[in-house]
Amino acid sequence: MAFSNDDLKLVERFKAGDRRALARLITLLDNHPDSRDLLERLAPPAPGGAVIGITGAPGVGKSTLLGGLIAGLRRRNHRVAVLAVDPESPITGGALLGDRLRMARVAAADEDIFIRSLSSRGVAGGLSASVHAISQLLLRFGYDRVLVETIGVGQAEMAVLRVAEVVVLMVMPGTGDEVQWEKAGLIEVAHLIVINKADHPGVERLEQELIDALSAGQESRVPPILRTVASRDEGVDAVIDNLEEIVSRRPGLNWLQMRTEILQEAEMLLGRRLRELADQDESLDDLARAVALGQRDIYGATEETLRRLLPRLDSQDRPAVRSVTRQ
Ligand SMILES: Nc1nc2c(ncn2[C@@H]2O[C@H](COP(=O)(O)OP(=O)(O)O)[C@@H](O)[C@H]2O)c(=O)[nH]1
Ligand SMILES: [Mg+2]
């Protein structure tokens, strides 16, 4: 899309580390899918960053655990951003507002913590695309741990989990929700399962049910299952240890960043190929003269040039990708 001067100023302020510019760019990304092009104006994120999804039923303790995770990750010198994906329900929405205010107070005191909630508008693809773009923006701002809190029940939330490189499923004893997680396929995608409210009875039984359900699955893969009492900060450090281990162990985790780099590499190659083709293209000289004389407008001339050159991109002998060096 075409960016206004104001948008471009925001990008400059973003690059200078202005958090208010970051907040406004998030709003822009959330409201205008087209604006995702602006990510290409920003340098790719530093390696080592990760987007982590935290999912579980309302009331299981996600926000409480997040508080502990934020503090613990900060102690390990990570810069932490939280995206809370709100459900539309006004009742839980109210509860989340409480969380948000509580968390916002933590964030206000520390520049290295950023918290934002997004409303789930029910459009599965739309929301996940927003969360993807915004996570990428946060990584580029320098937040290297982006935590996405979501109630993993609807289509929209499931889609959101696909943008997270690591998925944590939170459960608690005594609710009998396991069957639901199983049906939703959630326990199968989780890299880590946290049994919160381990101060309640029924922890052993729940753990056994989870192991049984996971072992019965086709892949029969049992991720680490940890116990926490998030309200007393118990077990939170072990959750972080496991998360960090998962993040460091999996080379595939950087795929979001690789996607960006592939596109940038492709852009560079395309530009180079276009210039090569243009060098052999006499009608470009004629067009350029016509534009200079005011006989043609530049946009029409550009379109015409692309229409002429693009089909030729593939038809001539191309330089091998490996011969391309970064300038
Ligand atoms: N007993 C107990 N209560 C907890 C624990 N973790 C969170 N809670 C409480 O459970 C309620 C819901 O927690 P919240 O973090 O808002 O859940 P969310 O809806 O998943 O974000 C709050 O009243 C918390 O204080 C825990 O480990 N044990
Ligand atoms: Mg919450």
Q: Which atom of ligand 1 is nearest to the CA of 234?
A: 27
CB atoms within 10 A of CB 49: 25
> Ligand 1 center to residue 215 CA distance, Å?
29
- The residue among 179 and 247 whose pLDDT is bigger is 247
Q: In angstroms, what is the span from residue 47 Cα to ligand 2's centroid? A: 29
CA 170–ligand 2 middle distance (angstroms): 12
For residue 2, the 8-state DSSP code is P
Regarding the beta carbon of 236 and ligand 1, being less than 6 Å apart is answered no
Collapsing DSSP to helix, strand or coil, 231 comes out as: helix
pLDDT digits (tens, 9 = 90+) for 78-126: 999 999 886 544 334 444 445 555 665 666 677 899 988 887 664 444 6
In this predicted structure, the answer to whether residue 204 has a pLDDT above a threshold of 90 is yes
Closest-lying ligand 1 atom to the alpha carbon of residue 60 = 20
How many angstroms is it from 36 CA to the middle of ligand 1? 35
**60 Cβ inside 6 Å of ligand 1:** yes
CB atoms within 10 A of CB 226: 19
Give percent above pLDDT 90 in the chain: 42
| For the CA of 65, the nearest atom of ligand 1 | 15
Spacing, Cα 31 to ligand 1 middle (Å)? 31
Comparing 137 with 129, the larger pLDDT belongs to 137
Residue ranges of domains in the chain: 1-42, 46-121+134-253, 257-323
Determine if ligand 1 sits within 6 Å of the CB of residue 199. Answer: yes
- CB burial string 3-14: b at 16+ within 10 A, e below: beeebeebbebb
Mean pLDDT of 186-205: 92
Residue type present at position 287: L
pLDDT band at 236 (very low <50, low <70, confident <90, very high): very high
- Please tell me the predicted confidence (pLDDT) of residue 95: 46
Per-residue model confidence as pLDDT tens digits over 58-72: 889 998 999 999 999
- Which pLDDT score, from 0 to 100, does residue 30 have? 85
Coil/strand/helix, residue 199: coil
Long-range contacts of 202-209 (CB under 8 A, 24+ apart): 202/173, 202/174, 203/173, 203/227, 205/173, 206/171, 206/172, 206/173, 206/174, 206/178, 209/178
Classify residue 29 by burial, with Cβ atoms within 10 Å: 0-12, 13-18, 19+.
buried
Ligand 1 pocket, residue 260 CB under 6 Å:
no
Q: Is 197 in the pocket of ligand 1 (CB under 6 A)?
A: yes
- Which of the listed CATH numbers 3.40.50.720, 3.30.70.270, 3.40.50.1820, 3.40.50.300 matches domain 46-121+134-253? 3.40.50.300
- Tell me the whole-structure pTM to 2 decimals: 0.74
Q: How many whole angstroms separate alpha carbon 321 and alpha carbon 325? A: 9
Q: Which token pair is 10?
A: 């925001």
Q: How far is the CA of 213 from the centre of ligand 2 (A)?
A: 26
d(CA 263, CA 241): 33
Q: What angle do CA 258, 237, 60 make, to 5 degrees?
A: 85
**Residue with CA closest to ligand 1 atom 7:** 61
Separation CA 272–CA 320 (nearest Å): 12
C-alpha span between 57 and 201 (Å, rounded): 18
- The CB of 230 under 6 Å from ligand 1? The reply is yes
